[in-house]
Amino acid sequence: MMDVGRHPKIKLLAYSEVEDISGYVGNFKVRIRKKARYVDETQCTSCGDCVEVCPVVIPDEYQVGLGSRRAIYLPFPQAVPSAYLVNAEECMGQNPIACGKCIEACEKGCIDFTMRDEILQIEVGAVVVATGMDLYDPTALDEYGYSSYDNVVTSLEFERLICSGGPLEGHLGRPGDLKFPRRIGFIQCVGSRTQDPERGNPYCSNFCCMNTIKTTQYLHDTYPDVESTVFYTDLRAFGKGFEELLMRSRASGVRYIRGLPGEIHADPESGDLHFMVENTTSNRLESHEFDLLVLAVGAVPSRSTETIRQMVSLSKSPSGFLREAHPKLRPVDTPTKGVFIAGSVESPKDVRECVTQASAAASRASILLNKDRFSVDAITAVVDADLCTKCGICAGVCPFSAIQWAKGEPAKVITAACTGCGTCAAECKFNAIQMRHFSDQAIYAQIDAMLEENPGESIVTFACNWCSYAGADTAGLGRMAYPPHANIIRTMCSGRVSPEFVWYAFRKGAPVVLVSGCHYVDCHYIDANRSTTRRIDGLWDGLEKAGVDPGRLMLEWCSAAEGSRWQHIMEQCEEKRVAVSEAEIKETRQLLNEKKTPGPRNPRSRDEHQPAEFRCLVCGESWDGVYQASQERICPVCRSNSVRWIRVKN
């Protein structure tokens, strides 16, 4: 950290807070509040004279509440800059000045209570999110007695107790009476690997096992008389040198008991802790007594992560940690271009993994910043200003804020920020937005091809590229047999599925229509599948009002790894397809035609031989002509093919 503070090309803003991030890749605008320290950091020499006279004593956050600090303090020993700061909410010397002892003690005159917060506006090309993680609070687990007994501590609190810079200055003692503990017990998986949400989280926190093993080895090397016992369900030592360290710990005399204790009781006189535990290895019930118990608590997402996540439009996993763009191919990228993640903000990690990922994020950001131009996939949205009604609905549903809109002005797509999910195109009721390579015309053409012959034998399936479509691939690679009647239309997101696609499929004779996407909390486009759910709810109501069985429209979620789930979904769809008779299909087509349900909003599905004005989405060239669905059109200027054309007007 000191090297970072001295680096000529790194500007370190300590004691500061990011308030807002706007813009897009290569053009982010960040508003930062640099909080008033009330101490001139360029003049302070960290002599400590001010601390000695400060009368305010409060628990020290760095020492996890086991030590104390003053209202004027150094955040931690290696803080950069190495200068004191005043916590205005704790100090008695402000509004009005009731103390002022630190001002009198400072010979260099570094303390200034007239300082105010400073707002900084900076422009950056890339953003790296590394807000870290918090530790699980074991207070909810009453049986372990963390909130009742002083001699039950967390793993972090024990680290501070044995640290040379801790509250006991490296002299081991238990918090209750500062006596030297000769019998120390460690309880693993506190707040981790449980399906009960009131008792913790379902995931493994990664670092807890090795942290305990390292601590027991340290105790053996430093305090040979200490007896250490570890209670666990499974020990996960999967890293380089980890298994060897576990073997060393066992060889040094540390006892490892497979089983977690029940309710813990403390002796009111001695403070010793005792409990019963089922040793699943020896298959017997054992009684144990310890001077000190250490709870190996797991990790939870940092409280500050959610604020940053909303600023830069990132998605998160069910566990609450941020989601990467791809777990194998893009592990530090995010769905938002120009934003990268590093460290335990993505998942619980140890120091080595955090350093590795931080280096990868820095490399990815530097690759981006060294480019003269930023290339994007050619699947972005395009707004036709002539057809845009300036309603602004598209800007409201875009999960990446890639559409700029002002009242009375047509919408404008920021191509660099657009990820091509297609939610805006499905939401636009005026055909003013088209998707490159996933156009309405192309989707209608696929529906026509599926239902041209024997429509009753086809299941029209809309599958999102990242999860459902990949889940179908997984089922195929795993040789999982399922009915062959599903005809898949790949879309980048289930949010791309417009209600008109579904109505059109039913009018063409589809017995069943399936819309499938990522699991509700796993959307690759943050929350675009919320729009899918809203539209499908409306379609179910519309089908029921039209006299059509709404059960023929199915909505299912499937991830890329769930090949067996895709197989099950297809079996359910096949059961529904078999139950739909030819007479019901014919009746549905007649009902929908009579009730004039919403129809296609693009020239692909209209009658042929209609006069129309066309415009090329590549070069902007326009001309009048006659539309024919079967005719391929080539731009006379840039020679783009028909997928680059839209009809402007009849």
Contact between residue 313 and residue 399 where contact means Cβ atoms under 8 Å apart = yes
pTM for the full model? 0.80
| C-alpha distance from residue 384 to each of 37, 427, 638, 643 (Å) | 52, 15, 19, 15
Which of 270-274, 314-318, 396-400, 562-566 is the least confident region? Answer: 314-318
State the CB neighbour count (10 A cutoff) for residue 202: 12
Which of 2-6, 281-285, 619-623 is the least confident region? Answer: 619-623
Does residue 640 have a pLDDT over 80?
Answer: no
Would you state the pLDDT for residue 375? 82
Q: How confident is the model at residue 641 (pLDDT cuts 50, 70, 90)?
A: low
Tell me the pLDDT tens digit for each residue of 62-75.
Answer: 999 999 999 999 99
What residue ranges do the domains of the chain occupy? 134-300, 438-602, 606-649
The mean pLDDT of the chain is 88
Tell me the pLDDT tens digit for each residue of 522-556.
Answer: 888 888 999 999 999 999 999 999 999 999 999 99
CA 328 – CA 321 distance, rounded (Å): 17
| Bond prior to 318 in cis (omega within 30° of 0) | no
Q: Give the burial class of 146: count Cβ atoms within 10 A of its Cβ; 0-12 exposed, 13-18 middle, 19 or more buried.
A: buried
CATH of 606-649, one of 3.40.50, 1.10.3470, 2.20.28, 1.10.3210: 2.20.28
CATH architecture type of domain 134-300 = 3-Layer(bba) Sandwich (3.50)
| C-alpha distance from residue 336 to each of 28, 125, 160, 450, 526 (Å) | 12, 13, 38, 35, 9
Q: How confident is the model at residue 351 (pLDDT cuts 50, 70, 90)?
A: very high
Calculate what percentage of the chain has a pLDDT beyond 90.
Answer: 67
Tell me the pLDDT tens digit for each residue of 454-479.
Answer: 999 999 999 999 899 999 999 999 99
Does residue 77 have a pLDDT over 90?
Answer: no
